């Protein structure tokens, strides 16, 4: 619905109009606020970071009684038959296998020289060899200590990496079968007779699971030949679409706190994925007998989509779009209407050899913003700004034992001068900041870390960071406040050019009863931003409790209560805020 300009302005209010409009422009410059965004949900599966189960027993047990001799030499071979009968001094690795014949394994085994030989020591040596092989992507390995004469102090060990025997697909029946078994087999690069490479196999599984509507797992079993293992790929095709909707109170004071949302996600032919989401305040969605009312006192409406096309070389092309309409009630008698359109494109390609870097990407952003202010119902004229940016970055993840993390790092460059509203003059008129530039650069990133603790507790740490070369337009600033940064404050309560935020959570063991699950956690959040133009810092901090609940795969309720430790622009110190998001999907 088009915006309407009211006509209650009179000549007698001309002086007030000048004073107030000037004040509004200053407010926009010195008190930056973030733009509330709701992008379409990412349609992707959780990445696999390790293969299931223990492939070899690693025991610290064994008799510590000395066997009457100190270790003077350790011989390692990749065949029991080729182990030498004579004694050696030091560590001798007699294998052409590059995974076995490494300086790292020499150093690992060297620490055992001179120690009294015992069954426990032999167990420790086997454990260290298996750990070395796993660290080099060989999870399936037999470490054999055959019967031998040890009176000379030499310990002989055979390291036998398992090789692939047969591979097959086991289909789990469903009503939505559409993936061919041959397609699954062809995407697993390991062939019969190859050593099992865990990094390669994990990469293959992640590629096969690129659609969240297809589940591919792996089962190892004893092969028909000695030293071999058979590989079974389990396949289940699920319903290739879902619809969702819900409620959240993550809005703002100026546009209303309540939000309703709904959308869909689907798998398309030719290996593509699409998603769409609409978010609106209830009064915007329906009021006075009409849909999409954008001329009330407050309004918010967002429509966003995402499209991903996977390519044969395991790269992917992603296109995103978002259109946002807001009507914000500012200090009386000011009202601000805003229209924002955003388009983005990204090409991402895998970097398997650079673990923990998994993916590199390049792309662009194009954004158009129009703001029109009203004073006492009279429009003051629109202001426009265009943003054109290039970007490049890296993504990755890493997992070992109880630790795991994933991250993204992006560099952004705005060359400026692409259009008439993408110049220094346009930026300065829009922001009322005479040092604003259309040419700028900034670096942004995030990292999520998780630690598994004893008794099924866990600790999660999320960090966001941004560093800018110059003052940025509002759409590119770093925001603080809300569910994704510092809880207890309203969404995007403050914003700046530089910034960092930290969310720390301690989770209790998940409670499960039938199809119901509940996750209770405590959190501490902190964030700080720097507004370059105003030379001012904004600092927020909070403590709180939360609980995430889910019933089956259809209903999820996430709630948190945050206690504010430091005042924001609209939130006072010691205020409390209850945050909720209810999602239903089918």
DSSP 407-447: EEEEEEEE---SSTTSSHHHHHHHH--TT--S-EEEEEEEE
pLDDT of 38 higher than 80: yes
| Residues 280-336: tens digit of each pLDDT | 999 998 877 778 877 878 899 999 999 999 999 999 999 999 999 998 887 777 888
Q: What average pLDDT does the segment 137-156 reach? A: 88
Q: CA–CA distance from 88 to each of 73, 234, 558 (Å)?
A: 5, 47, 64
Q: Confidence band (pLDDT; 50, 70, 90) for 249?
A: very high
Q: Where along the chain do its domains lie?
A: 73-161, 163-237, 477-586
pLDDT of 131 higher than 80: yes
pLDDT of 166 higher than 90: yes
pLDDT the model gives residue 56: 45
pLDDT the model gives residue 125: 93
Beta strands in 250-356 (DSSP E): 259-268, 272-280, 286-287, 290-291, 299-310, 316-329, 334-350
pLDDT the model gives residue 431: 87
Q: What is the DSSP letter of 85?
A: S
pLDDT of 8 higher than 90: no
pLDDT the model gives residue 373: 83
Q: What are phi and psi of 429, to 5 degrees?
A: -70, -35
- On the question of a common fold for 73-161 and 163-237, the answer reads yes
pLDDT the model gives residue 354: 67
What distance in Å separates the CA atoms of residue 218 and residue 520, rounded to the nearest whole number?
A: 32
What distance in Å separates the CA atoms of residue 279 and residue 299, rounded to the nearest whole number?
A: 11
Is 3.30.460.80 the CATH number for 163-237? Answer: no
Q: What is the pTM of this model?
A: 0.84
Query: Which of 31-45, 115-129, 224-238, 248-262 shows the lowest per-residue confidence on average (mean pLDDT)?
Result: 31-45
pLDDT the model gives residue 578: 96
Give first-to-last CA distance, the chain, whole Å. 31
Architecture in CATH for domain 73-161: Roll (3.10)
Q: What are phi and psi of 53, to 5 degrees?
A: 75, 165
Q: Which of 308, 312, 319, 311 is nearest to 273 (CA)?
A: 308
Q: What average pLDDT does the segment 146-166 reach? A: 90
Q: What average pLDDT does the segment 265-293 reach? A: 90
- Contact assessment for residue 188 and residue 232, using Cβ atoms and an 8 Å cutoff: no
What distance in Å separates the CA atoms of residue 262 and residue 142, rounded to the nearest whole number?
A: 53
pLDDT the model gives residue 53: 53
């Amino acid at each position: 619905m088009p915006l309407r300009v009211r006509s209650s302005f009179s000549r007698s209010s001309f002086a007030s109009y000048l004073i107030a409009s000037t004040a509004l422009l200053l407010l926009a410059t010195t008190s930056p606020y973030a733009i509330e965004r709701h992008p379409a949900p990412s349609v992707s599966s959780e990445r696999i970071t390790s293969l299931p189960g223990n492939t070899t027993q690693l025991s610290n047990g064994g008799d510590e009684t000395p066997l009457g001799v100190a270790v003077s030499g350790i011989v390692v071979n990749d065949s029991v038959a080729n182990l030498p009968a004579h004694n050696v001094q030091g560590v001798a690795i007699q294998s052409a296998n590059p995974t076995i014949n490494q300086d790292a394994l020499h150093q690992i085994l060297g620490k055992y020289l001179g120690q009294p030989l015992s069954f426990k020591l032999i167990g420790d040596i086997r454990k260290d060899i298996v750990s070395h092989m796993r660290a080099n992507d060989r999870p399936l390995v037999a470490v054999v200590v055959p019967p031998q004469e040890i009176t000379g102090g030499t310990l002989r060990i055979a390291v036998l990496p398992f090789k692939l025997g047969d591979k097959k697909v086991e289909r789990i029946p469903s009503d939505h079968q559409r993936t061919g078994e041959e397609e699954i087999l062809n995407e697993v690069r390991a062939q019969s007779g190859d050593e099992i490479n865990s990094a390669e196999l994990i990469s293959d599984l992640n590629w096969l699971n690129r659609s969240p509507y297809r589940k591919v797992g792996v089962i190892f079993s004893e092969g028909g030949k000695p030293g071999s293992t058979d590989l079974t790929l389990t396949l289940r095709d699920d319903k290739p679409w879902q619809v969702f909707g819900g409620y959240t109170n993550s809005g703002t004071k100026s546009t209303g706190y309540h939000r309703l949302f709904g959308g869909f996600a689907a798998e398309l032919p030719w290996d593509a994925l699409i998603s769409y989401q609409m978010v609106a305040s209830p009064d915007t969605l329906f009021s006075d007998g009409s849909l999409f009312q954008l001329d009330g006192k407050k309004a918010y409406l967002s429509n966003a989509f995402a499209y991903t096309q996977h390519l044969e070389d395991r790269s992917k092309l992603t296109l995103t779009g978002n259109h946002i309409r807001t009507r914000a009630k500012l200090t009386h008698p000011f009202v601000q209407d805003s229209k924002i359109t955003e388009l983005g494109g990204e090409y991402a390609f895998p970097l398997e050899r650079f673990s923990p870097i998994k993916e590199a990407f390049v792309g662009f952003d194009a954004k158009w913003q129009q703001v029109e202010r009203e004073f006492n119902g009279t429009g003051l004229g629109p202001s426009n700004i265009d943003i054109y940016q290039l970007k490049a970055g890296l993504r990755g993840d890493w997992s070992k034992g109880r630790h795991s993390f994933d991250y993204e790092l992006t560099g952004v460059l705005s060359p400026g001068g692409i259009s008439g509203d993408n110049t220094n003059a346009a930026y300065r008129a829009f922001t009322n900041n005479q040092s604003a530039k259309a040419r700028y650069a900034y670096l942004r990133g995030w990292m999520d870390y998780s630690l598994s603790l004893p008794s099924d507790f866990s600790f999660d740490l999320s960090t966001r960071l941004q560093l800018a070369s110059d003052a940025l337009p509002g759409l590119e600033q770093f925001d603080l406040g809300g569910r994704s940064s510092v809880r207890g404050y309203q969404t995007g309560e403050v914003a700046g050019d530089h910034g960092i935020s930290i969310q720390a959570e301690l989770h209790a063991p998940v409670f499960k009863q039938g199809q119901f699950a509940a996750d209770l956690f405590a959190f501490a959040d902190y964030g700080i931003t720097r507004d370059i133009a105003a030379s001012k810092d904004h600092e927020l901090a909070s403590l709180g409790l939360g609980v995430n609940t889910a019933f089956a795969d259809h209903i999820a309720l996430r709630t948190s209560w945050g206690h504010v430790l430091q005042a924001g622009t609209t939130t006072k110190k010691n205020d409390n805020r209850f945050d909720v998001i209810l999602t239903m999907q089918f």
